[in-house]
Structure 1
Amino acid sequence: MSILEIWLLAISLAIDCFTVSVTSGIILHRIQWGNTLKMAFFFGLFQALMPLLGWFGASRFNHLIEAYDHWIAFGLLCFLGVRMIRAHFQSEETCCFDPTRLRVILTLAIATSIDALAVGISFAFTGFNTIQSLSAPLFIIGLASFLLSIVGNLIGVFFGKRFHLRVEIFGGLVLIGIGVKILIEHLF
């Protein structure tokens, strides 16, 4: 796999992180560097770790993971999406979807990185025989997700401020849509 192919793969894996980060930025309405970097860090970390786990478990656990990974991602994303939509109909004081909470960030990081697990499984069958051979692709995947998450959050804050958007419904539908996309890709 060439460096160009690895970067294209990394960017395609990071698109879900970017989309979720845009939505989070719109909800927050202001730049909170600590939260932005925390989200970007965990998105990048999980996007880099999941291919490693997929690669490592490909020979031992492939038959167990492959049958359910898409359902797990679908369930997590739909759960968070429904929470976001519900938050739109509640007052701001009782909002239940807070993209700054570590539990929410970790859930989003896991849900958006399930595809990376499948990529790791494919790495095991495409000539990556050692952890050392995986180091560059894993770093690039993590870096792309980290950077696109920061950019997505900043774009979301800009649009949220400029247009005074309160888009929990849109964000929830985006998360559910990503979950459905993952499910459809794996079922068909």
Structure 2
Amino acid sequence: MSPVSMLLIGFAMSTDAFAAAIGKGAAMRRPRFVDALRAGLIFGVIEAVTPVIGWLLGRAASSYVEAFDHWIAFVLLGALGVHMIINGVKPEGDDADEDPDKHHGFWHLAMTGFATSIDAMAVGVGLAFLNVHIGVMAAVIGLCTLVMVTTGIMLGRALGQLVGKRAEIVGGVILILVGSTILYEHLSAAGG
């Protein structure tokens, strides 16, 4: 596989994480570059590991992963999106005792990163049948995701400053749309 093809796959695998990062950045209260880079690292590592897992699964049972990856991504992203929307419509006083950064902590970011990386696992399954070094491909996917998520958080920050606290609603809608798009693409590809 050529380096250009690998780079294109890397960026293609990071587009849904980029969309989710825009939503996360919009929901965060004044994220700094360090916050964006931290989210980018979390997403990038997860996005790099999942194709390796998929590659290993592809060696064992590719039909099982491909059969359900879109449903898992849809449910995880949809649930996270609904949660963000609920938090966005809460009156200001309802979450006064709550840490505003709780929803942007490690585990929440890791769950979102995992949900957006399920398609990378399916790609890893496909790569198991090609002549490609999975370690190099995983590194390319991870680095592309790091760049895209860091950029997405910072772009989302600008959006968040424009629309205030209700930006979390926008972020939730984006996560639901990303999950729905993943589901639609897989179902329409299966039907066509």
Using structure 1 for the length normalisation, give the TM-score: 0.88
Q: Which segments of 5 or more consecutive residues in structure 2 lack a partner in the other structure?
A: none
Q: Which segments of 5 or more consecutive residues in structure 1 lack a partner in the other structure?
A: none
How far apart are 1:162 and its partner, in Å? 4.4
Distance in 2 between residues matched to 1:91 and 1:35, nearest whole Å: 26
Q: 99, 111, 117: which is aligned to 1:113?
A: 117
How far apart are 1:35 and its partner, in Å? 3.1
Deviates more, 1:95-104 or 1:3-12: 95-104
Number of aligned residue pairs = 184
Instruction: Decide whether the 8 Å contact of 1:83 with 1:97 is kept in 2.
Output: no
How far apart are 1:159 and its partner, in Å? 2.8
Deviates more, 1:143-152 or 1:160-169: 160-169
Q: Which amino acid aligns with 2:43?
A: F
Computed over aligned residues only, the root mean square deviation of the Cα atoms, in angstroms, reads 2.0
Runs of 4+ aligned structure 1 residues displaced above 4 Å come to: 95-98
How far apart are 1:146 and its partner, in Å? 0.4
SS in structure 2 of the partner of residue 147 of structure 1: helix
Distance in 1 between residues matched to 2:34 and 2:154, nearest whole Å: 13
Percent of aligned positions that are identical: 33
Listed one character per residue, the Cα deviations across residues 116-143 of structure 1 (whole Å, up to 9, x for unaligned) are 0011011011223xxxx22221111100
Q: Pairwise mapping of residues 19-168 of structure 1 onto structure 2 (< 5 A)?
A: 19-92=19-92, 93-94=94-95, 98-128=102-132, 133-162=133-162, 164=164, 166-168=166-168
Deviates more, 1:139-148 or 1:17-26: 17-26
Using structure 2 for the length normalisation, give the TM-score: 0.87
Distance in 2 between residues matched to 1:88 and 1:113, nearest whole Å: 25
Match of 1:181 in 2: 181
